[in-house]
Amino acid sequence: MNNINFLFVTLFGIGKLKRIPGSYASLATTIFLFFLFHIFDLSPNLVLIGVIIIFLISLYAISIFIKNLDNKDPKEIVIDEFIGQSIPICLYEIAHEGTKDVSQILTFYFIMFILFRIFDIAKPYPVSYYDKKFKNSFGVIMDDVCAGLYVVAILVLYMVITT
């Protein structure tokens, strides 16, 4: 059971990469979601429900993983990057259902990836609040959820301005 939990919270070992495991996890998530939406043609609503389920499971799985650790947000935990990166992509897909130009999709996916990494690394408020205030699984996940919501806010603002 510990091995399954390890694979889950490290996103199948991506979190054990020596350098920038969070960025690799975000990139893997972006590519994975592209395949789900544009190769396998899954419903964005269905995928979003899956992300919510992963969020709920992560609260428990991360708490088990960090239980005996001094560092309550170790870099090998990257399931939170999966959740945070999934939010803007799923909401983008829900808002833009139907036929789209692949180059436009790839451009927006790239922008969402870059923006998420910027917000996750820079940790503007309230991202920093969750990162510093909650030294538990909730804090580990919520800073990435907030970073993902910042990406959504930026994209909504861009779409409002350009439409």
Give the tens place of pLDDT for each residue, 118-146: 999 999 998 899 988 998 999 999 999 99
Summarised one tens digit per residue, pLDDT across range 81-123 is 999 999 999 999 999 887 679 999 999 999 999 999 999 999 9
- Could you tell me if residue 71 is left (phi over 0), alpha (psi between -120 and 50 degrees) or otherwise beta? beta
The pTM is what?
0.95
| Residues comprising the chain, all counted | 163
Mean pLDDT of the chain: 94
Tell me the C-alpha distance between 127 and 147, whole Å. Answer: 6
Q: Give residue 111's pLDDT.
A: 97
What average pLDDT does the segment 65-85 reach?
93
Between 1 and 136, whose confidence is greater?
136
DSSP readout, 18-80? SS-HHHHHHHHHHHHHHIIIIIS---HHHHHHHHHHHHHHHHHHHHHHHTT-S-SS-TT--HH
The least confident of 2-6, 68-72, 89-93 is: 68-72
Where do the domains of the chain lie? 2-162
Give CA separation, 150 vs 78, 85, 100, 123, in Å: 19, 11, 24, 10
Q: How far is residue 82's CA from residue 94's CA, in Å, rounded to a whole number? A: 18
* pLDDT value at residue 99: 67
Rg of the chain (C-alpha set): 16
Helical packing angle, 44-66 and 2-9, nearest 10°? 120
Whether the CB-CB separation of 109 and 89 falls below 8 Å is answered with yes
CB 27 within 8 A of CB 84: no
